[in-house]
Structure 1
Amino acid sequence: MHKVNLEAKLAAFSEQWSPKTVAAFNGHDVMVVKAKGEFVWHSHPDTDDLFLVLKGRLTIQLRGGDVRLGPGELYVVPRGVEHRPVAEEEVHLLLIEPVGTPNTGDERTAAPKAAV
């Protein structure tokens, strides 16, 4: 068993909107991601979507209103709810989702998952 240093993992890559798996547990990927700008509107029909802000600020746009998050705050988008993450400046996030969940909700348009 090894501890995971999230800052070191985030320092190891520069790509935006490309989640990197740092650990796994109970059939879930634990990932870090750097994000800046607007992601695509999407939903996940079978899973909730957890966002935990490590650094920076993230707005999760929902059709019914926005959720604004800062460091140390998290939000869970319920399954099936259309949403779009937006970061005016680079934000660092921790994501947890079932293994194989496409980040866009669609395997055809999803970023490939890689470990870091």
Structure 2
Amino acid sequence: MSLVNLFDAASALPGAWSSRLLGEIGTAAVKLLRMDGTPVREEAHGTAEILIVLDGRMELVVQGDPVSVGPGEMYRVPAGTAHAVGPGSHGSLLIVEVPETAR
């Protein structure tokens, strides 16, 4: 698949917080998901991840500090950094990450 309309793909997802793998670049996965306002509890990963808000807003909590990420903005979460998605986060999110099983 070469051309993907990210907004159409996000609206076609079966439910919020269920991601769709769009492709891979080397060992990195590019995933798309839809946020619906519900929070996601804190987690940390062994690899860094890039979070890109396409539309809407993501209310992150990174090591206890609030970070609001708006449309067209990107946030890089360093490896091992505790982060959560706060309530009210909504819209489409693109994630670029190296799955821990690929390391």
TM-score computed with the length of structure 1 as normaliser: 0.77
- Which amino acid letter does the alignment assign opposite residue 71 of structure 1? P
How far is 1:11 from its partner?
2.0
- Distance between the aligned counterparts of 2:39 and 2:72, measured in 1? 21
Q: Residues 44-59 of structure 1 correspond to what in structure 2 (within 5 A)?
A: 44=45, 46-59=46-59
State how many pairs are aligned: 100
- Distance between the aligned counterparts of 1:49 and 1:87, measured in 2? 20
**13-22 or 75-84, which moves further after superposition?**
13-22
**Which runs of 5 or more residues in structure 1 are unaligned?**
103-116
Q: Residues 1-116 of structure 1 correspond to what in structure 2 (within 5 A)?
A: 2-36=2-36, 37-44=38-45, 46-98=46-98, 100-101=99-100
**Which runs of 5 or more residues in structure 2 are unaligned?**
none
Q: Does the CA-based 8 Å contact 2:35-2:92 persist in structure 1?
A: yes
| Pair 93,79 (structure 1): closer, same or farther in 2 beyond 3 Å | same
How far is 1:14 from its partner?
3.6
- 4+ residue stretches of structure 1 with deviation over 2 A? none
- Distance between the aligned counterparts of 2:82 and 2:17, measured in 1? 17
TM-score computed with the length of structure 2 as normaliser: 0.86
